[in-house]
Amino acid sequence: MVEVNLNCESDIKPSKYMIENILDGKCDIVLNDNIQKKTKTDEDGQTKTYYIYDIYRIVKNNYRDTLDNDLSDKTGFSVWLNFAKEQYQNQAETVSIEERLSTAEAVIAEILGGEV
């Protein structure tokens, strides 16, 4: 499964990738894409640097000792990022219209404080 968070913001520059939650031969691979350095001026007139980026998290992937080397290579990183994007697109396509409507109705009901 791939989880995606688009347009994330941080005052710390994110690394291109991370390997997390290594347990029982599985791990999460976090890929940060479209990292852009931005600046803004706050109300005190101070210029602040921040970063915006997209996060792709491949959940419960098989872990292996060479994974870090694969991800640190530019070509390897691109292969993993393209895989994550394709998997996420496929996940979105497999959600039926009924499931989407049911979720939308539940959110609307929660906002309105009753049933739809």
pLDDT digits (tens, 9 = 90+) for 30-56: 999 999 999 999 889 999 999 999 999
pTM of the model: 0.74
- What is the model's pLDDT at position 79? 94
- Per residue in 65-93, pLDDT (tens digit) is 999 999 999 999 999 999 999 998 887 66
DSSP 58: E
The domain segmentation of the chain, as residue ranges, is 2-112
